[in-house]
Structure 1
Amino acid sequence: MREGAEVLEVDHHGDKVLRLADGSILKLFRRRRVISSAALYPYARRFANNAAALARLGIPVPQVIEVLRIPSIERDAVRYAPLAGKTLRELLRGGLAPARERELKAAFTRFVVGLHDQGVYFRSLHLGNVVCTPEGRLGLIDFADLRIHPWSLGKYLRARNLRRMQGLDEERDWIDAAAIVGGRPPGGAQ
């Protein structure tokens, strides 16, 4: 499976994300602790379950092909077809016209308000995990640590969900915190 693969992401434990020869993505997960809930409910399975749940909510996500356990390297993995498009971070770093940037910021705020209204709590929310598809819709990637509640998120969880982005200098100004925490799209209209 690894033959001809391109390594997309690596850390000090080894390869994390690979693009396989067939164009699919293989994301590897390691257990961080010996005693962990990941032993019973691996992150690869969480990723696959979250992908299915988000798709049911109408949110564009990668299409999961299979969930794997790879004992030889003590990893779990998920293989998926990537979500077409570019992350908002890629678009931002590539340079955006001011009008396009304003348009994407407003769309991002509406997207996050919609996620929160649907009970989606995503601790790893940042512009690198939000994809703008060729159709102009926003979707999510890398969501193994996401939780979906059966109720709309309250103000505390909405604010907590934004903390990671608020710590990222180049992404901080993409947050309309008052609109997101208050559950209002830009301009105050519902």
Structure 2
Amino acid sequence: MRRTLVRLLVVATVSLAVGCGDGGGGGTTVVGPGAADPTPQASRVAVTDGLDLGAVEVAGDPPPRAPVLDAATWPQAAGWLRRETDARPVVVNFFASFCEPCKRELPLLLDTADAEPDVAFLGVHTYEQRALGERMVREYGITIPTLHDPDADVLAEVGGRVLPYTVAFDTDGRLVGRVIGELTGSSLDELLAEVRP
């Protein structure tokens, strides 16, 4: 009985912390410089929080470009981001297999990555076991580089708490925009507009 109760509490806590549900993209918020942020102050994530990849200490070699689902620490992910932002802006999408909005937005994200060679895309599988992320990569045909972030360390470093969550870095390595919630064509376009010259 006690073990069952503990499991229920863990599941409930993760569900509340992650914020995923079966609802549509109604919770989507695009936040960028000059953009109105309709999110309540308590859950607002400021874009002007000073995250600049130039100030981040990187560790070891950055993960490879291929979708290998390597485990990532923030310094490794920052190394990948710094390498890519030397040449082009980067969009980073955080997802998990239990997150229905994450699954719904993947086709849009992958189609956009194919159509936008001037922008690098990175997937980050988070909050769960690597095997579940590997299954998602196979099932959804994820072709963008994908990292595994089981403890949500990378997610936390870029100001995320809930899924789905997508951020964009400009070619100076600065975090310039984010979408909190399920991506739509218009919210992804707005995010890309934040990183284009």
Q: Same fold (TM over 0.5)?
A: no
Give the number of the structure whose residues are more often strand, by fraction. 1
TM-score, length-normalised on structure 2? 0.24
Q: Computing the radius of gyration over CA atoms, which structure comes out larger, 1 or 2?
A: 1
Which protein, 1 or 2, shows the higher relative CO under an 8 Å CA cutoff with sep ≥ 6? 2
